[in-house]
Structure 1
Amino acid sequence: MPVAGALTPIDWVTRFDELSARRDRLGAVELDELGLAAWFLGRAAESERAWDDAHRAYLAASDPDAAIRCAFWLGYTLGERGEAVRARAWMSRLFELCGSEPDARAGAIAMLCRSVGAFATGRLDDAAEFAERAVALARASGDTDTEVLATMNRGRALVFGGRSEEGFAYMDRVMLAISSGTVSDRVAGPAYCAVVASCLDRWDVERARVWTRDLSAWCDAQRGLEPFRGECSVHRATVLRLGGEWGEAETTLVDVCSRERRPETLENALYWLGDLHRLAGRTADAEAAYRRAAELGREVQPGLALLRRDAGRLGAARTGVARALGATPLTGVRADLLAAQVELEVDHGDLGVARRAADELRALADTIDTVYLAAQADRAAALVAIATDAPEQALTLLRRSWGAWRRLDAPYEAAITRMHLGRACRTLGDEEAAQLEFDAARTVLTTLGAIPDLARLERLAAGPDRTPAAGGLTRREVEVLRLIASGRSNRDIAHELFLSEHTVARHVSNILAKLALPNRASATAFAFEHGLTQPA
Structure 2
Amino acid sequence: MSTETAIDDGRSAFRENRWTDSLRSYTDANQRGGLPAADLERLATAEILTGNTTTGLDTLARAHEEYLEVGDVAGAARCAGWLGIQFMNLGEAGQAGGWFARGQRLLDELTEPNVVEGFLLVPAALGKLYGGEPAAALQLFSQASEFGRRFQDKDLSALGLLGTGQATLMLGRADEAISLFDEAMVAVTTGELSPIPSGIIYCAVIGNCHLAFDLKRALEWTAALDRWCAARPDMVPFSGQCQSHRAELFRLHGAWHEALEAAAVARKRAIQGDPQALFGGYYQQGEVQRLAGDLDAAEASYRQAARSGYEPQPGLALLRLARGDPRQAQTMIRRTAGEADQATRRHLLPAMVEIELAAADAEAAARAAAELESFAREYPKPMVRAAASQADGAVRLAEDHPAAACVSLRQAWHLWAGLGVPYEAARCRVLIGIACRSLGDEASALMDFESAHAEFLELGAAPAAAWAASLMQAGPDDGGRRQGPLTPREVEVLRLVASGEGNRAIAAHLFLSEKTVARHISNIFLKLGLSSRAAATKYAFEHGVTG
Normalising by structure 1, what TM-score? 0.77
Please give the alpha-carbon distance, in whole angstroms, between the structure 2 residues aligned to 1:61 and 1:112: 26
2:195 paired with 1:188: no
2:384 paired with 1:373: yes
* 1:321-372 C-alpha deviation (Å, 9 max, x unpaired): 4224224354676556543343355356333343344334445555665432
The residue that corresponds to 2:538 in the other structure is none
The residue that corresponds to 1:20 in the other structure is 27
Please give the alpha-carbon distance, in whole angstroms, between the structure 2 residues aligned to 1:243 and 1:67: 47
Q: Conserved in 1, the CA contact under 8 Å of 2:320 and 2:329?
A: no
Q: Conserved in 2, the CA contact under 8 Å of 1:212 and 1:232?
A: yes
| Inter-CA distance 457–44: structure 2 relative to 1 (3 Å threshold) | same
The residue that corresponds to 2:543 in the other structure is none
Instruction: Please list every run of 5 or more consecutive structure 2 residues that lacks an aligned counterpart in the other structure.
Output: 1-7, 483-547
The residue that corresponds to 2:253 in the other structure is 243
What is the one-letter code of the residue matched to 1:31? L
What is the one-letter code of the residue matched to 1:409? G
2:498 paired with 1:461: no
What is the one-letter code of the residue matched to 1:349? A
The residue that corresponds to 2:138 in the other structure is 128
TM-superposed CA distance for 1:381, in Å, is 1.6
The residue that corresponds to 1:497 in the other structure is none
Please give the alpha-carbon distance, in whole angstroms, between the structure 1 residues aligned to 2:246 and 2:426: 22
* 1:54-73 C-alpha deviation (Å, 9 max, x unpaired): 22323444544433332221
The residue that corresponds to 1:517 in the other structure is none
Q: Conserved in 2, the CA contact under 8 Å of 1:321 and 1:340?
A: no
Match of 2:222 among 207, 212, 217: 212
What is the one-letter code of the residue matched to 2:27? S
2:430 paired with 1:419: yes
Please give the alpha-carbon distance, in whole angstroms, between the structure 1 residues aligned to 2:378 and 2:165: 16
Q: Conserved in 1, the CA contact under 8 Å of 2:170 and 2:344?
A: no
The residue that corresponds to 1:387 in the other structure is 398
Aligned pairs (5 A) from 1:471-510:
none
TM-superposed CA distance for 1:35, in Å, is 1.0
TM-superposed CA distance for 1:9, in Å, is 7.1
2:45 paired with 1:33: no
Aligned residues: percent identity? 33
2:353 paired with 1:342: yes
Match of 2:92 among 72, 83, 88: 83
TM-superposed CA distance for 1:114, in Å, is 4.4
TM-superposed CA distance for 1:105, in Å, is 2.8
Please give the alpha-carbon distance, in whole angstroms, between the structure 1 residues aligned to 2:390 and 2:360: 18
Q: Conserved in 2, the CA contact under 8 Å of 1:151 and 1:170?
A: yes
TM-superposed CA distance for 1:384, in Å, is 1.4
Normalising by structure 2, what TM-score? 0.75
Equivalent residue pairs, number: 464
Q: Conserved in 1, the CA contact under 8 Å of 2:142 and 2:160?
A: yes
2:66 paired with 1:57: yes
| Inter-CA distance 302–461: structure 2 relative to 1 (3 Å threshold) | farther
The residue that corresponds to 2:418 in the other structure is 407
SS in 2 for 1:46: helix
* 1:18-63 C-alpha deviation (Å, 9 max, x unpaired): 3223325111121011110122133333222212222232344454
The residue that corresponds to 1:178 in the other structure is 188
Q: Conserved in 2, the CA contact under 8 Å of 1:203 and 1:332?
A: no
| Inter-CA distance 333–269: structure 2 relative to 1 (3 Å threshold) | farther
| Inter-CA distance 102–72: structure 2 relative to 1 (3 Å threshold) | farther
SS in 2 for 1:225: coil
The residue that corresponds to 1:221 in the other structure is 231
TM-superposed CA distance for 1:279, in Å, is 2.4
The residue that corresponds to 1:440 in the other structure is 451
| Inter-CA distance 342–214: structure 2 relative to 1 (3 Å threshold) | same
TM-superposed CA distance for 1:295, in Å, is 6.4
Please give the alpha-carbon distance, in whole angstroms, between the structure 1 residues aligned to 2:133 and 2:447: 52
| Inter-CA distance 307–59: structure 2 relative to 1 (3 Å threshold) | closer
The residue that corresponds to 1:265 in the other structure is 277
The residue that corresponds to 1:234 in the other structure is 244
TM-superposed CA distance for 1:285, in Å, is 3.5
- Structure with greater contact order relative to length (CA < 8 Å, sep ≥ 6): 1
TM-superposed CA distance for 1:78, in Å, is 1.8
Please give the alpha-carbon distance, in whole angstroms, between the structure 1 residues aligned to 2:94 and 2:128: 16
Q: Conserved in 2, the CA contact under 8 Å of 1:13 and 1:223?
A: no
What is the one-letter code of the residue matched to 2:420? D
Dislocated runs of 4+, deviation >6 Å? none
Match of 1:68 among 64, 74, 77: 77
SS in 2 for 1:222: coil
2:146 paired with 1:139: no
TM-superposed CA distance for 1:16, in Å, is 2.0
